[in-house]
Amino acid sequence: MKQRSDSRFISFVAQFKQNRAALAGATIVLLLVFVTLFAPQLSPHDPIKACLDERLTAPCMEYPFGTDQLGRCIFSRVLYGSRVSLSVGLIVVGIAATIGVVLGIISGYCGGVPDEIIMRLVDAMLAFPSLFLALAIAGILGAGFINVILAITVVEWTRYARVMRGSILSVKENYYVEAAKSLGASDFYIVTRHIVPNAITPIIVVATLGIATVILAAASLGFLGFGVQPPTPEWGMMLNDGRLFMRRAPWLMIFPGLAIMITILAFNLLGDGLRDAWDPRLRERRRER
C-alpha cells in the first residue's frame, strides 16, 4: 500500500533523527570540521615551537594535554593534527570516489570487455593487503602529504568502483531504463539522467565510512614514518613520537590516540546512520503496511 508523504528526503531525515548514535556521530564530525577550520584561533600555543624548558610537562592549566619531548603543546598539536587527518580523508575519498564511480559506471553499464578489465584490476588491487600496498607506494615515492594521498587513493578507489558497479547493475534492470532506451535516448543521457541519480546513494554511505578508513590509514603511515614530515603535527606521527616516553609521559600517546579513535568512531557512526536511514529494505517494510 502506498502512503503519501512530501518527499523521500523528509522520511530519510525523520529516520536519521531517531538514530541517536548517528546524531552523536554527526555532531562530532561537525565539531571536528569546526576545530580544523579554527585551529589557529583555538590553539593556546604554537604547535611547532619547541620550548625545551617545558619538556614532558604533565597536563595542567597551561598545557591541557601536557607537552612532548620538545616541550610543544600537545593540545595545540592535536588540534592542528586534525587538519592533516581531515584533509587527507576528504581529498583521498574525493579522488578515490570520483575515479571509482566513473570506472564503476563504465564497468556496470557497458559490461563485456571493459567490465572484465576493470573488475580484474580491482581484484588485483584487493589481492594486496591494502596497508602494505600503500606502504610500498609511499616507500617508492617517498614520504610527504601528497604521496600519502596518492598511496592511499591507489588502494581506496576499488571499493567505490565495486559498489557503484553493483548499484548500476541493479538500477539498470528497471523498466524505466529500457523505456528511455526505446524513446531513442542516447546512452549518455540514460546514464546521467536515469541510472546515476538512482544508483549514487550507496556511494555516499561508503564514502562516509571510507573517510574513517583513510584517516586510520594515514595515521598508520604517519606512525610508521611514511606520512607527513615533521614538524607538521600529525596524529600517527605523534603516537610514534610518544612511544619512547610511554611510561614516563603517557599523555604523549593518550591524546593523539583518543583523537584518532573519536574521529573514526564519529565517521563510522555517521556512516552507519546514513546507511540505516537509506536502507531500501527498511523503507519497503514501512511501505508494505
Q: Applying CB under 8 A, which residues contact other proteins?
A: 1-5, 7-8, 11, 14, 174-176, 178-186, 189, 193-194, 197-198, 286-287, 289
Closer by beta carbon to other proteins, 179 or else 258: 179
CB 207, min distance to other proteins, A:
20
Helix axis angle, 145-172 relative to 130-141, nearest 10°? 140
Residues 126, 196, 23, 8, CA torsion sign: negative
CB 124, min distance to other proteins, A:
19
Closer by beta carbon to other proteins, 197 or else 225: 197
Distance CA 181, CA 189 (A): 10
For cell 574521529, what's the residue?
263
Closer by beta carbon to other proteins, 74 or else 274: 274
Closer by beta carbon to other proteins, 27 or else 174: 174
CB 17, min distance to other proteins, A:
12
For 117, half-sphere exposure in the C-beta direction (CA atoms, 13 angstrom radius) is: 6
Partners of residue 67 on adjacent β-strands = 73
Closer by beta carbon to other proteins, 53 or else 173: 173
Q: How far is CA 231 from CA 77, 91, 96, in A?
A: 10, 21, 28
CB 103, min distance to other proteins, A:
22
CB 198, min distance to other proteins, A:
6
CB 104, min distance to other proteins, A:
19
Closer by beta carbon to other proteins, 123 or else 178: 178
CB 121, min distance to other proteins, A:
19
Using left for φ > 0, alpha for ψ between -120 and 50, and beta otherwise, residue 66 falls in left
In 3D, which of 8, 72, 17 has the Cα closest to residue 233?
Answer: 72
Closer by beta carbon to other proteins, 17 or else 20: 17
Distance CA 265, CA 113 (A): 40
Q: Where are the alpha helices (DSSP H) in the chain?
A: 8-17, 20-37, 39-42, 74-110, 112-127, 130-141, 145-172, 175-182, 187-189, 196-199, 201-223, 235-243, 251-278, 280-288
